[in-house]
């Protein structure tokens, strides 16, 4: 099953998005938050993201959803750290909003979708109209 990592500056946002996503996809164990810094302050931490990717991966790859500012750069750094360690994990960043993207991604992942289809599901969430 494709793993999902939620990156946010706020650990509360990351945990909250994961809680919501898990409710949408019962039985998906690999929805992992990587929010804030270890001391609880706001920010993004590439090492924490790298650890979350490892935790989320079951061999089918990981789709990362990240919020604003440095979150994307930290997620890219995390992927590079894992590449340098030659972990062999296929991790990609979705160009998508984290709440809507996470919900669409986990539903696709829980249904057994490939990493490509989970990434597409996350990115297509941008097109959803709310009104």
Q: How big is the site for another protein, counted in residues (CB under 8 A)?
A: 19
| Two structure tokens written together for 118 | 């989970």
Q: Which of 15, 16, 22, 81 is in the footprint of another protein by CB under 8 A?
A: 81
**Is residue 90 involved in binding another protein (CB under 8 A)?**
no
CB of 71 to another protein, least distance (A): 9
Q: Which of 3, 31, 48, 115 is in the footprint of another protein by CB under 8 A?
A: 48
Q: What are the backbone angles phi and psi of residue 86, rounded to the nearest 5°?
A: 50, 50
The C-alpha atoms of residue 110 and residue 118 are separated, in whole angstroms, by 10
The active-site residue, picked from 2, 3, 5, 9, is 9
The C-alpha atoms of residue 34 and residue 48 are separated, in whole angstroms, by 6
**Is residue 42 involved in binding another protein (CB under 8 A)?**
yes
Output 34 or 105, the one with its CB closest to another protein: 34
| Residue 72 burial (10 A CB sphere; 0-12, 13-18, 19+) | middle
| Residue 99 burial (10 A CB sphere; 0-12, 13-18, 19+) | middle
Catalytic residue numbers, as ranges? 9
Name the site residues for another protein (rule: CB under 8 A). Answer: 9, 37-38, 41-48, 69-70, 73-74, 76-77, 80-81
């Amino acid at each position: 099953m494709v793993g999902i990592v939620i990156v946010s500056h706020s650990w509360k946002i990351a945990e909250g998005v994961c809680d919501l996503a898990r409710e949408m996809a019962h039985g998906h164990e690999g929805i992992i938050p990587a929010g804030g810094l270890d001391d609880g302050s706001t920010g993004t931490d590439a090492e924490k993201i790298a650890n979350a990717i490892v935790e989320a991966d079951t061999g089918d790859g990981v789709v990362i959803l990240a919020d604003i500012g440095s979150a994307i750069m930290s997620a890219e750094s995390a992927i590079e750290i894992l590449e340098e360690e030659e972990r062999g994990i296929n991790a990609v960043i979705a160009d998508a909003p984290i709440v809507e993207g996470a919900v669409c991604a986990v539903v696709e992942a829980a249904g057994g979708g490939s990493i490509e289809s989970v990434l597409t599901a996350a990115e297509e969430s941008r097109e959803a109209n709310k009104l």
